Structure 1
Amino acid sequence: MTTTNTDTIAIDQFVDAPPSKVWRTLTEPELHARWWVPGDIAATVGHRFHLQMPGWGSVPCEVLEVVPEQKLVYTFNETWTLTWRLAAEGRGTRLFFEHSGFDFEQKSERDAFNRMGPGWRNKVLPQLVQTASQLTD
């Protein structure tokens, strides 16, 4: 797992599950709630949904790009963009995650970047890995 220190949080994570299971984990609301937060996500371009973030409340999102089992991109809080790219690797999946759109001119954005990098890396993505790895067909 690697992280880049720019205005984008970038994480490269191996998941011991095929892309189909990782995709389901990212795009099915019930599974999404297991590894991150509840929300009415759907893998449909233009779909507007909300994620129920502790401490933030209902965060608006919109799906920008969908390539089934390969790429999912959506806005988060109308400012940030979350990009999930999946690539088959052996019997698993290489997951490339990017959280972009931080405005380092604003202290609150720098603070968010500094908090969220470790949060994604040490908590959220490991939960995604665990959820995808435990799925049965």
Structure 2
Amino acid sequence: MNEASIEKRSVVVEREMAHPPEKIWRALTQPHLIEEWLMKNDFTPVMDHRFNLRGDWGAVDCQVVAVEPSKTLSYTWAALGLESVVTWTLTPTRTGTHLRMEQSGFRPDQQQAYQGAKYGWQKFFAGLEQTLARIE
């Protein structure tokens, strides 16, 4: 069975947030803010920048693949055998921003990673909302 015929799955989380895209962008791209809601990191929003995210359970190796300030941010997310891509999309609304996060690339045999991501991103989003409520 070749790679191409394997159905890959995505975890998608979408939220309406009462914050402007620029503010959410800061929380997604400034290392000290990322650390508050996601993990310790050495992130820089620069194309091809390699960085890692460090949690109690281990580390995630990442590389920036797309940066469009206050609009789109995308990076690879490789951990525990998972090769995936996380893409953030910020769309301005009348009352703030529609924030969409998609983590794509889960293979059918990665059910545990898929379920873990579904749970984890809900937690991360809750943390992100707390960070956004706190910063100016």
**What's the TM-score once normalised by structure 2's chain length?**
0.87
Q: Which residue of 2 aligns with 1:112?
A: 113
Q: Which residue of 1 aligns with 2:56?
A: 54
Distance in 1 separating the partners of 2:128 and 2:16: 11
Identity score, percent: 32
Render the CA deviation track for 1:24-47: whole Å, top value 9, x for unaligned: 000000000011101011111110
1:15 touches 1:133 (CA, 8 Å); kept in 2?
A: no
What secondary structure sits across from 2:107 in the alignment? coil
For 2:133, give the aligned amino acid.
S
Matches within 5 A, 1:120-131: 120-121=121-122, 123-131=123-131
Render the CA deviation track for 1:35-70: whole Å, top value 9, x for unaligned: 1101011111110001102212x3210000011000
Q: What is the deviation of 1:118? A: 2.1
1:70 touches 1:85 (CA, 8 Å); kept in 2?
A: yes
What secondary structure sits across from 1:32 in the alignment? helix
Q: Which residue of 2 aligns with 1:100?
A: 104
* Residues 75/53 of structure 1: CA separation in 2 closer, same or farther (3 Å cut): same
For 2:117, give the aligned amino acid.
M
Distance in 2 separating the partners of 1:88 and 1:134: 20
Distance in 1 separating the partners of 2:50 and 2:13: 25
Gaps of at least 5 residues in structure 2 are 1-7
**What's the TM-score once normalised by structure 1's chain length?**
0.86
Matches within 5 A, 1:1-137: 7-56=9-58, 58-77=59-78, 79-104=83-108, 106=109, 109-121=110-122, 123-136=123-136
What secondary structure sits across from 1:30 in the alignment? helix
Q: How much is the aligned-residue C-alpha RMSD, in angstroms?
A: 1.4
